[in-house]
Amino acid sequence: MMKRLGLAVVLTSFSAPVFADGDVADGAAQFIRQCVACHVVRDDAGNILAGRVAKVGPNLYGIADRPVASDVRFRYGDSITLAGAAGVIWSQENFVTYVQDPTKWLRDALSDRRARSKMGYRVRSDQDAQDIFAYLASLAP
């Protein structure tokens, strides 16, 4: 009895990390398919963890719970800069909503119907967005 319990505990501790509703492996595939044309994931030491060298969009390293518009090397649009200055962070919910319609998310966040996003891309599935968030979260401590 104790032995079986011990085995179960060992197996559990070796299983893949789970980030809320996201599937890390699917997120990796979706990131390559949908994001690498514009984004890279580069750690603080300069190692590229995902993507190539795209600079159209900001570096997404450590995006989970990162302050909005905080890649100091990227020139953000005015609207997302305002959201960042207001102290908004990339919670899972904010991220998942944003990537499905960046302009709408900014309009809601700023209560400004004229807010605009420089990101001209939308993820078409909520599950894909959840999976990509889980994947990006898994790349940073």
Site residue total, ligand HEC (CB under 6 A)? 28
Using the rule CB under 6 A, give the single segment among 9-17, 44-52, 65-73, 107-115 that binds ligand HEC.
65-73
Q: Using DSSP, state whether 42 is helix, strand or coil.
A: strand
Q: Shortest distance, CB of residue 112 to ligand HEC, whole angstroms? A: 13
- For residues 6 to 45, the per-residue mask of contacts with ligand HEC, x marking binding by CB under 6 A and - elsewhere, is ----------------------------xx-xxx------
| Residue 95 burial (C-beta neighbours within 10 Å; 0-12, 13-18, 19+) | buried
If one asks whether residue 56 binds ligand HEC (CB under 6 A), the answer comes out as yes
Residue 115 falls in which region: left (phi positive, over 0), alpha (psi -120 to 50) or beta: beta
The enclosing H or E element of 29 equals helix 24-34
β-sheet bridge partners, residue 67: 89
Q: Which residues bind ligand HEC (CB under 6 A)?
A: 34-35, 37-39, 56-58, 60, 63, 68-71, 76-77, 80, 90, 95, 98-99, 117-121, 123, 132
